[in-house]
Amino acid sequence: MAEPSSAFPVVIVAGPTASGKSSLALALAESLGGEIVNADSMQVYREFRILTARPTPEDEVRVPHHLYGVVSVSTPCSAGAWLDMAIPVIEDIQARGHLPIVCGGTGLYLKVLQEGIAPVPDVPAEVIDEATVLYNKEGGEAFRERLARLDPDGAAKLEPGDRQRLIRAYAVAVSTGRPLSAWQAEQGAEPPLNARFLTIHLIPPRDQLYQRIEERFDQMIELGALDEVRAVQALNLDPTLPALKALGVADFHRYLAGDVTLEKAVSKAKQGTRNFAKRQLTWFRNQSRADLLIEGFAGEEGVARVQAAINDFLDW
């Protein structure tokens, strides 16, 4: 392994949805000659610019942004697929003498970037198809019990409604004869990048965060989020695709189908987003280490403090 002094610097700006991380990353990129790399599992999808609060076209003109809107909603994007895209992008930014600033709230993406990803063998498509048929026939509870006989640890960590991960875990166990957790335990010690990371977590007060979630959802409606959902709905895609689990999609589908009022759909979407932000806060507090924790961050506030920390980091 290379000596730490030869590792190139990468800044990570992470936090829950609506915490202000995109604004902070933009300010840092402008002042430090950086380029922003997306680490949000929903902002990779092309058709949901407004609904996933991607950077605006104006922001993308101010500094280079990468891996935003690069995948169709019809194509699942896993942590492994994102990592395969992110590594060459980050290395190219560094090779051109710029600072890579990775920005996002998907904890798993940030984890695999820093630690690597388990070398799980490819699963034959027919095994996945068979697992999907079983799940659809038996339902989530029964299927999870079936998985528990092959991978009790994996089954215990998954909810019955987590269809995609349950099917994945079952297919891996059936096709390889080993539980997914066993493969994950063999994750290599070598990280995917010869990089040193400065990780910044934005953890605003919960009441402030929830207020910003409310305001942002109202703004999304005004900007045309319903039109995005309507256009994707017309594609008649598999409803289990990851992109269709974006916050608000299911609620707006029900509104467009005439099942609920717009007011009710927006209220449910806001509640779902608040719940999601709470889970993100739990992840960042318990599953990730921060070099710089900013609990009261709001918008541009605190930028000078962050810049000072980054300057020290770059001089190391």
Segment 285-314, tens digit of pLDDT: 887 889 998 876 655 556 777 888 888 898
Instruction: Say if residue 216's pLDDT is above 90.
Output: yes
The mean-pLDDT minimum among 4-13, 55-64, 102-111, 218-227 falls in 4-13
pLDDT of residue 113: 95
Q: Which DSSP string corresponds to 56-124?
A: PHHHHHHS-EESSS-B-TTS---HHHHHHHHHHHHHHHHHTT-EEEEEES-HHHHHHHHH----PPPPP
In this predicted structure, which of 37-51, 112-126, 236-250 has the lowest mean pLDDT?
A: 112-126
Report whether pLDDT(18) > 80. Answer: yes
Query: Considering the chain, what percentage of its residues have pLDDT values greater than 70?
Result: 94
Predicted confidence at residue 119, as pLDDT, reads 75
Is residue 184 over pLDDT 80?
A: no
Q: Is the pLDDT of residue 273 over 90?
A: yes
Which two structure tokens, joined as six digits, stand for 160? Answer: 């019955």
Per-residue pLDDT tens for 160-176? Answer: 888 888 998 999 999 99
Give the pLDDT band (50/70/90) at residue 3.
Answer: very low
Tell me the domains of the chain and their CATH numbers: 7-117+188-315 (3.40.50.300), 125-185 (1.10.20.140)
Pick the range with the lowest mean pLDDT from 43-47, 73-77, 117-121, 291-295: 117-121
Q: How large is the average pLDDT for residues 84-102?
A: 97
Structure tokens at 71: 């995948």
- Beta-carbon count within 10 A of 69 CB: 18
Answer with the residue of higher pLDDT: 165 or 271: 271
CA distance 313 to 267: 43
Is residue 185 over pLDDT 80?
no
Q: What average pLDDT does the segment 32-61 reach?
A: 97
Q: Is the pLDDT of residue 188 over 60?
A: no
Q: From 196, 198, 202, 213, select the one nearest 22 (Cα to Cα).
A: 202
Please report which confidence band the pLDDT of residue 2 belongs to, taking 50, 70 and 90 as the band edges: very low
More reliable by pLDDT, 1 or 304: 304
300 Rama class: left (phi>0) / alpha (psi -120 to 50) / beta = alpha
pLDDT at 88 over 70: yes
Task: Say what the pLDDT of residue 253 is.
Answer: 95
pTM above 0.75, yes or no: yes
- Split at pLDDT 50, 70, 90, the class of 89 is very high
Residues of the chain with pLDDT > 90, as a percent, come to 69
Residue 4 banded pLDDT, cuts 50, 70, 90: very low
Provide the pLDDT for residue 316: 62
Mean residue pLDDT of the chain comes to 90
**pLDDT score for 298:** 52
